[in-house]
A and B are shown apart, each in its own frame.
Chain A
Amino acid sequence: MTEQLPTIIILGPLLGATLAAFAAWFRPRLSQPLVVLGLVISSAAALKLVFIVADAGAQEYWLGGWSREQGYGVVGIQITVDYLNTLLLAAVSGIALLTSVYTRRLVDTELAGRQRYFYALFSLLVTGLLGITITGDIFNLYVFMEIAALSSYALIAYGKGRAYMAAFNYLIMGTMGACLYLLGVGFIFAKSGTLNIDDVSASIPALGQSQALFVGFVLILLGAWAKMAFFPFHGWLPNAYVHGPTASTAILAPLATKVAIYAMLRIMVTVYSIKYINSSPGIQSLALYLSSLAIVVASFFSLTQINLKKLASYFVLSEIGYMVGGAWLANKPGLTGAMVHVVADAAMTSALFMAIGCIVYRLGQAQLDDLKGVFFKMPVTMAAFVVTMAALIGVPPTCGFFSKWYLIEGAAKADAWHFVAALLLSSLVKAIILFRIVEIGYNRVPHPAIKGNPAIPRNEAPLSMLIPTVAMTLGLIVLGLGTSTLVNTIISKALPAALAQ
């Protein structure tokens, strides 16, 4: 059974999607439970695999049994769960599970009358994301990437008003990214003759200073950057996340960009190797400067936003800068920070959008000015919101503090002081925004406990939305305290041993 676990991770949501699509014809109310079931199976498998990998190392699986041993070289498609992706698999499936429970109410209100195929698309999206994370074949990655992408375009298009245009722009940018990625794969394939990640990484050192490989690398990088909304390819993200329905944003925001960053990491660390990265310093400093720029620009834009969802999407953009910069520092603490942050940020963004979703559900609006007195109306939600913002700012003992620690350490080691300054600046900007929200939501309202002040009725979010939000927020603290264990047992083993200390 344990050998089948890697496939079960993808099969769970895939079957869930198919069954949900059928169920949507006859009994639409059934689609959500089916999807949840699929995700439960998937998360359980992913969680079990984390422990297995921590003990025994990477687990391989060849789809259809077409493995290497048959003597013909690599014929089949390999999926691997190794130190680099096991945590992300658990994070993606876990977050998807919580979000699938969470989104029910939002779907019923925001998408009233059109929600038939929402959960099927949801599950298909998660399949795509898990597939990207788990695959060991660079073309297969493209296929899963497009599965996820098409589902996400449709999920965004469910929104009202400007959603169609936002989805269309997202589609154009996303397709461009995917095609650039495919072109890069073509170059690699042309030179190495294989698509299997392990085989390609084995053959690259022998090919030496090949220009084709370099161009392939750059193209894949550009494609991944377009998919993850890295500056300057970020234009589609704020519009898509604001105009899409809150339910879609709740699943897209935490996961889509992080998985794209994982894809970049996989290509950088496993396929091309850190030695290769270090021998192309031009891209390295460019990537670092772009990261710092991404963080600073996104932070400044977030200061001027009055819409909560748009604010949150600019936070997402700045966090992407963290991870890309951390990866391109190409030293041990930098890469550790990037990898920790991929998981940590997925959790933080998920908690953030869940809290925002609760607010939108109850108040109907997400403008900052509408938040007057929200701390009294929705105390539990706002408590979760404050903790999540604290995590984003980097207050110990949440996970955000520790990932920021590693990133700053890596930047100090690499003498990339602009990156350190950008990281600190973004923390301060987030702190300013948090306290602005605290002021509007709590301080500027006459305190209801004082006699003579108007009472503010409690209007807390429904339990099906509240419990996942609180669970995710508590998870941030648990993740923070457990960062050291995770780094020691799993993440440090994902880095090549020869990496500069």
Chain B
Amino acid sequence: MEKLIANFNYVIVVILMMIGLWSMLAQKNLIKKCIGMAIFQTGIILFFISIGAKDNALIPILTEAANHTYPVSDVSKVANPLTQILMLTAIVVGVATLGVALALAQKIYQQHSSFDEDEILENERK
């Protein structure tokens, strides 16, 4: 039990991902699928960030004051910038994908007047 609490970030990530995955695959409504996709991606993003986080970490930005020189003298005090940068990229990708997905959903709605997958399939078969 302690292990679960100690690793609470992983637990939350797993829960978010499962919700997202279930929504993406099992839900019939297209918008809910998009939402599920966003939740899934958010879970992964949180995963990355959480593995780069540290207790009482300094932000990974160098300032002119305090005579900082390359390399930073105590790297262990700084939060890992790499994971944050990767996740910025991933967020951008996620937003773009969500945009495309919503555009497609809008077009589908224009065609079939419904967001429900079953109704759309029936409509297509006609």
In the complex, is A directly touching B at CB under 8 Å? yes
Report which A residues bind B (CB closer than 8 A).
72, 139, 142-143, 146, 149-150, 153-154, 157, 161-162, 164-165, 167-168, 171-172, 175-176, 179, 182-183, 186, 189-190, 195
Give the dominant DSSP class at B's interface: helix
Complex: A153 Cα to B102 Cα, angstroms? 12
Return the chain B residue nearest A146 by Cβ: B93
- Asked if residues A186 and B97 are in contact (CB atoms below 8 Å), the reply is no
B113 within 8 A of A: no
- Asked if residues B41 and A183 are in contact (CB atoms below 8 Å), the reply is no
Query: Which residues of chain B are within 8 angstroms of A189 by Cβ–Cβ distance?
Result: 48, 51, 83
Among A150, A172, A183, point to the contact of B44 (Cβ < 8 A): A183
Q: Assuming A146-B93, A179-B40, A179-B41, is B86 touching A168 (CB within 8 A)?
A: no
0 or 1 for each of B75-89: is its CB under 8 Å from A? (1 = yes) = 000000011001001
The distance from the CB of A242 to the nearest CB of chain B, in whole angstroms, is 13
Among B83, B89, B100, point to the contact of A171 (Cβ < 8 A): B100
16 pairs from A and B in contact (CB 8 Å cutoff):
A143-B93, A150-B96, A157-B107, A167-B104, A168-B105, A172-B25, A172-B33, A176-B21, A176-B24, A182-B90, A183-B17, A183-B44, A186-B48, A189-B48, A189-B83, A195-B82
- Asked if residues A186 and B124 are in contact (CB atoms below 8 Å), the reply is no
Q: Assuming A143-B89, A154-B100, is B30 touching A176 (CB within 8 A)?
A: no
Query: Which residues of chain B are within 8 angstroms of A143 by Cβ–Cβ distance?
Result: 89, 93
Q: Which of B24, B51, B90, B105 has the most CB of A within 10 A?
A: B90
Q: Assuming A164-B107, A167-B104, is B24 touching A182 (CB within 8 A)?
A: no
6 A-B pairs closest in CB distance: A146-B93, A168-B104, A164-B108, A164-B107, A190-B51, A186-B48
- Asked if residues B21 and A168 are in contact (CB atoms below 8 Å), the reply is no
The distance from the CB of A226 to the nearest CB of chain B, in whole angstroms, is 11
Chain B stretch 84-126: residues in CB contact (< 8 A) with chain A: 86, 89-90, 93, 96-97, 100-101, 104-105, 107-108, 111, 120-121, 124
Give the dominant DSSP class at A's interface: helix
Complex: A168 Cα to B116 Cα, angstroms? 13
Interface residues on B, range: 20 to 34
Among B44, B100, B101, B104, point to the contact of A182 (Cβ < 8 A): B44
Query: Which residues of chain A are within 8 angstroms of B41 by Cβ–Cβ distance?
Result: 175, 179
Query: Which residues of chain A are within 8 angstroms of B86 by Cβ–Cβ distance?
Result: 139, 195
- Asked if residues B104 and A176 are in contact (CB atoms below 8 Å), the reply is no
Query: Which residues of chain A are within 8 angstroms of B25 by Cβ–Cβ distance?
Result: 172, 176
Complex: A171 Cα to B111 Cα, angstroms? 18
Query: Which residues of chain A are within 8 angstroms of B124 by Cβ–Cβ distance?
Result: 161-162, 165
The distance from the CB of B101 to the nearest CB of chain A, in whole angstroms, is 5
The distance from the CB of B82 to the nearest CB of chain A, in whole angstroms, is 8
- Asked if residues A168 and B108 are in contact (CB atoms below 8 Å), the reply is yes
The distance from the CB of A167 to the nearest CB of chain B, in whole angstroms, is 6
Return the chain B residue nearest A149 by Cβ: B97
- Asked if residues B71 and A72 are in contact (CB atoms below 8 Å), the reply is yes
Return the chain B residue nearest A72 by Cβ: B71
- Asked if residues A168 and B93 are in contact (CB atoms below 8 Å), the reply is no
Q: Assuming A146-B97, A182-B44, A182-B90, is B104 touching A172 (CB within 8 A)?
A: no
Complex: A67 Cα to B3 Cα, angstroms? 40
